[in-house]
Structure 1
Amino acid sequence: MPRLLPSLLALAMVGITMPTTVAAADRITGQPFATRSEVYAPHAMAATSHPLATQIALDTMKAGGSAVDAAIAANAALGLMEPTGNGIGGDLFAIVWDPKTKRLYGYDGSGRSPRSLTLAEFQRRGLTDIPSHGPLPVTVPGTVDGWFALHARFGTLTMAENLAPTIRYAREGHPVHEVIAYYWDRSVPRLGKWPGFTEQFTIDGRAPRTGETWRNPNLADTLQAIADGGRDAFYKGDIARVIGDYFAANDGFLSYDDMAAHTGNWVEPVSTNYRGVDVWELPPSGQGIAALQILNLLEPYDLKSYGFGSPEHVHLFVEAKKLAFADRARWYADPEFHPAPVARLISKEYARERGALISMDTALREVQPGTPKQLDEGDTIYLTTADADGMMVSLIQSNYRGMGSGMAPPGLGFILQDRGEQFVLREDHPNAYAPGKRPFHTIIPGFATRDGEPWLSFGVMGGAMQPQGHAQIIINMVDFGMNLQEAGDAPRIQHDGSTDPAGQATPMTDGGEVDLESGFAYGTVRALMMKGHSVRFAHGPYGGYQAIMKNPHGGWIGASESRKDGHAAGY
């Protein structure tokens, strides 16, 4: 891993005693302190995983752009600067608070599977899972459509103005940041065999190094074509033709007609109330409502009195996650093929019924329905923006597994996503593969309101960690009184091996694994083991956090992930 801030475990090793009720500690005194201060600004705020993308978002709003313009501009920049997590070959989801109508709007910018690829074709090839990389897991990329849909409703600048900063950086170059260089280097050996990847995403066959200048003139040309020709330049023009020809020549199925037929969807966000805070997520095909189910299951317990990092806190969280993820495997899929009973799943009554399965003394080893294998190697970017008029944007975007499928059509400068790996090759499963179907999605934007007013735009990217992370941020702030930065710095819990809507149907019979980030007391670990949990200290699967909160005194408060390259900034 790249060299980042000292971990809480490292602090303990040099003699600093760590309270278990805080996010981090000052390196000198050991007193409660976050890794950095919250950021305050009177007019506008942006929080992204790359400093240059944050600057682009602020520059966009200073030039008269809305928070949506800023989010689009930052997302475009991240596709260039952090291709290890996103790009225009992937999908997009967003929640927007509109101060004019005083309501939230949701957008599902996910793409569908190729219409010429059938379940029988996978069976003919003898496959029981969809491959991680190559042409078979590729689905239609929905990001560009999402940009234009959001812009048409909420944008104030032109799309050409929004894309101009990234086009310039793509041509002139930018220095690669540390965490990104690390993951880029890991991707090259796995993806280098796919046509177009090495030519467009390496320097002499290797990943760019930390601080080295990276240019992507092909992506600059693609973004310029989109800026000049609009949405249809991507889905119905030469770009779509290049994509179709490329897959036809490389054992693939994504076609020009698939691209031309794509459309995203405006969707209504759904919510639950957790101790006076309304937490909002998008409905399936994403996994956002799992966070709401977790919160509903935990609300009857006095987590504040147990304390952050206590055995009771961690145990209850893990058990609630297991129950929510059992439903996630059974119900979360493309609603056009398999509609879920969302209102029932996120109701308090249902949570009371399911909560009866939780024991304070013993970890659940099996939870019905059965559990397919877990897929947690995905990578994603999350960003949030807020402007002087009060608009807030919560946006998440991904190629799924890091740099995606590895399939990089010639001359275009981007890689197609491998989101189709999330389908199940079994006819009786809700998430079964079918032509023209959206796969189960892990990427979810989050939002929270209080008394009908915007309070928090936030997200925690990272595979199945995302709903777990969303719930933990809310719990950290509401139950444990952490500020916006502390809530993200606090050591995280991830339960692995639970029910998943993707892959083969392999039921959980051993209770899975509890991953605890450095900073939890050994007494907590020992108590969890006594309850039957298998605890391990996994290295790095804890996601990436960005957040903006409405300052009750006026303006905005921002926070950013200390485990990544980016930052929050405002003006």
Structure 2
Amino acid sequence: MRDFHFPGRSAVHAQNGMVATSHPLASQTALQILKDGGNAIDASIAAAAVLAVVEPQMTGIGGDCFILFCSKGSSDVKAYNGSGRSPKAATLAHYQELGVQKIEATSVDAVTVPGAIEAWSQVHGDYGSKDFGALFQDAIGYARNGYPVHARVYNDWREIEWLLKSRDAIGKVFMPGGTLPKEGDIHRQEKLADTMTTIAEKGAAGFYQGPVAEKMVETLRALGGLHSLNDFAALKGNYVTPASTNYRGYDVHQVPPNNQGITALLMLNILEGFGISDLDPLSAERMHLEIEAGRIAYLMRDQYLADLDSMTVTLEQLLSKSWADELRKKISPEKAMTDIGDLGLETSDTVYLSVVDKDLNAVSFINSVYHSFGSGHLCPQTGVVFQNRGSSFNLNPDHPNCIGPEKRPMHTIMPGMMTKGDKVAMSFGVMGGDYQPFGQCRVVSDVVDFGLDVQASIDNPRVFARGAQVDVERSVPAAVLQGLSAMGHTMKLANGALGGGQAIFIDHDRGVLTGGSDPRKDGLAIGF
């Protein structure tokens, strides 16, 4: 139970439905969909559409999407990979001929074909209950009539102002009149409203074919991109078998690669061999074990993860408990490892949302343009901000994540789901670019090892090992910092809050849904 002498928020409890998103307008939309008889899939798509308008630096219809969901409270987890692919013309030879050494985050070469709208359409067609077009109405209204800029949004826009000033197309939309909107100012995106109206009327075909696709490809080609109308028309996501591991009696599920979710599963496999529950949940000893498990897991991620068809090892090998036993031997409970240096890890932000409806359909949903405002390229005629997922490719021909035609890059965004026995237990996710596996492990361990509610877990101070350096939030207690330093960790104050998160825990015995939403963002959990 939290100490009510201190600022904070309590977990939210409800019986008939629960939503948790990173923005209050999105939470409100999702809740209303549930109250109007829609199911969790309907509410998730409607919330994602609103977030694509009101948090455009983090997400948008020019981005990608991954979804995990369980039907009617069961442990049968379905997964959808809605990540886009590189253009068919994006061969390694092309970049070698140009002497390109790296796919830069703000280059047009970083723009992969957006997968989000295809994913929304496909999953809705299979599992939704309300009219697809009706799910866009709130988002269209906010884009056309305006929405107030919230605090975290303004903070993010201010940090990326240099990019908005450097690009005419995106600058005209997000710095109207040459000035960045401030917190509480009303902002509009009329062209995006038009595009969303087309999608509402025509479905995914209105985005991947016809005038909208033609304008997007025209913009990308003018910037030097290799994209074609065929690349957009051919874009298809797919249902995939979730990757899973058992952590102390709970099954934790992730979307498999090209998604980085198995990094979290590997961390959990390593941590399972330690007596975590015997430690204080906010202690140097516990954080040290997380740091070391994370450093090992990310090193393995960077060696092996790629589009599943390109990987040289199997998921069974990566998630083997015996392999985790061997990796665990590298960790000393008292001293930091010295043989893992800088891993090149970055934090970035996206949106994650969770919805559970009255029938206990549970959805774990994540949507992103990757870095803030993605590539920084915007199509003026459609209002679409293009993601920069292609910057995750490398140009090493011997690496499975090397760029190639119609290939998916290794992806950071990862929804999570937890089940126990034959029932779903928790829908959850943590945002923050490379930080996400680290954050998800903390939530799972907090709930399973310490019995914390989801809000208490999300509120906890965070650390993130980028390699030899450990980023720490300002809220980490001094005694913890001293303890980590004594173990040999090099710590640095994080440039900003580490990630964000939402979660809904399902208590089947009591018939109660418990939701939490990260105070590092503007959002909230709310139910009825």
* CA displacement, residues 220-279 of structure 1 (integer Å, 9 cap, x when unaligned): 110111111111111122111111111222222222111011100101112111111111
User: 1:166: how far off?
Assistant: 0.9
Aligned to 1:18: none
1:402 equivalent to 2:358? Answer no
User: 1:337: how far off?
Assistant: 2.2
Asked if 1 retains the 8 angstrom alpha-carbon contact of 2:75 and 2:421, the reply is no
The residue matched to 1:76 in structure 2 has which SS?
helix
User: 1:324: how far off?
Assistant: 0.9
Aligned to 1:502: none
Aligned to 2:109: 136
**Change over 3 Å in CA distance of 1:270–1:117 after alignment to 2:** closer
The residue matched to 1:94 in structure 2 has which SS?
strand
1:91 equivalent to 2:64? Answer yes
* Partner residue of 2:282 out of 309, 314, 318: 309
* CA displacement, residues 425-473 of structure 1 (integer Å, 9 cap, x when unaligned): 1111111111211011000000111112111000000011100000000
Query: Which range is displaced more, 188-197 or 245-254?
Result: 188-197
Aligned to 2:516: 559
**Change over 3 Å in CA distance of 1:320–1:102 after alignment to 2:** closer
User: 1:195: how far off?
Assistant: 4.7
Asked if 1 retains the 8 angstrom alpha-carbon contact of 2:164 and 2:175, the reply is no
* CA displacement, residues 189-247 of structure 1 (integer Å, 9 cap, x when unaligned): 21433352122222212322100111111111101111111111111221111111112
2: CA distance, partners of 1:198 / 1:519 = 35
User: 1:151: how far off?
Assistant: 0.1
2: CA distance, partners of 1:541 / 1:326 = 24
2: CA distance, partners of 1:219 / 1:274 = 43
Asked if 2 retains the 8 angstrom alpha-carbon contact of 1:191 and 1:405, the reply is no
1: CA distance, partners of 2:527 / 2:312 = 41
* Partner residue of 2:130 out of 154, 157, 169: 157
User: 1:549: how far off?
Assistant: 1.1
* CA displacement, residues 371-423 of structure 1 (integer Å, 9 cap, x when unaligned): 763233x2210001111111010001110101111111122112000110001
Asked if 2 retains the 8 angstrom alpha-carbon contact of 1:84 and 1:184, the reply is yes
1: CA distance, partners of 2:269 / 2:489 = 22
* Partner residue of 1:49 out of 10, 16, 22: 22
The residue matched to 2:166 in structure 1 has which SS?
coil
1:424 equivalent to 2:394? Answer yes
2:111 alignment partner AA: V
Aligned to 1:465: 435
Measured on the aligned residues, the alpha-carbon RMSD in Å equals 1.7
1:322 alignment partner AA: R
* CA displacement, residues 151-184 of structure 1 (integer Å, 9 cap, x when unaligned): 0111000111111111112111111101101111
**Change over 3 Å in CA distance of 1:427–1:556 after alignment to 2:** same
* Partner residue of 1:384 out of 350, 354, 371: 354
User: 1:117: how far off?
Assistant: 2.5
Asked if 1 retains the 8 angstrom alpha-carbon contact of 2:430 and 2:502, the reply is yes
1:533 alignment partner AA: H
The residue matched to 2:369 in structure 1 has which SS?
strand
1:74 equivalent to 2:74? Answer no
User: 1:100: how far off?
Assistant: 8.0
Aligned to 1:352: 325
- 1:434-453 superposed matches below 5 A: 434-453=404-423
Aligned to 1:170: 143
Aligned to 1:146: 119
1:490 equivalent to 2:460? Answer yes
Asked if 2 retains the 8 angstrom alpha-carbon contact of 1:277 and 1:449, the reply is yes
Query: Which range is displaced more, 518-527 or 390-399?
Result: 518-527
The residue matched to 1:454 in structure 2 has which SS?
strand
- 1:336-351 superposed matches below 5 A: 336-338=309-311, 340-351=313-324
1: CA distance, partners of 2:474 / 2:257 = 33
* Partner residue of 1:265 out of 215, 229, 238: 238
1:527 equivalent to 2:474? Answer no
Asked if 1 retains the 8 angstrom alpha-carbon contact of 2:342 and 2:466, the reply is no
- 1:195-274 superposed matches below 5 A: 195-274=168-247
User: 1:301: how far off?
Assistant: 1.2
The residue matched to 1:196 in structure 2 has which SS?
helix
Aligned to 1:550: 506
Asked if 2 retains the 8 angstrom alpha-carbon contact of 1:291 and 1:471, the reply is yes
2: CA distance, partners of 1:322 / 1:187 = 29
The residue matched to 2:505 in structure 1 has which SS?
strand
**Count, aligned residues:** 527
1: CA distance, partners of 2:284 / 2:504 = 30
- TM normalised by structure 2 equals 0.96
The residue matched to 1:388 in structure 2 has which SS?
coil
- 1:255-334 superposed matches below 5 A: 255-334=228-307
Structure 2, unaligned runs of 5 or more: none
1:412 equivalent to 2:382? Answer yes
2: CA distance, partners of 1:348 / 1:102 = 22
Asked if 1 retains the 8 angstrom alpha-carbon contact of 2:67 and 2:365, the reply is yes
User: 1:480: how far off?
Assistant: 2.2
2:526 alignment partner AA: A
User: 1:339: how far off?
Assistant: 5.2
1: CA distance, partners of 2:335 / 2:527 = 47
Query: Which range is displaced more, 147-156 or 520-529?
Result: 520-529
User: 1:362: how far off?
Assistant: 2.4
Structure 1, unaligned runs of 5 or more: 1-21, 498-511
- TM normalised by structure 1 equals 0.89
Asked if 2 retains the 8 angstrom alpha-carbon contact of 1:188 and 1:206, the reply is no
2: CA distance, partners of 1:402 / 1:410 = 18
* CA displacement, residues 33-78 of structure 1 (integer Å, 9 cap, x when unaligned): x711111111111100110100000111112211000000000000
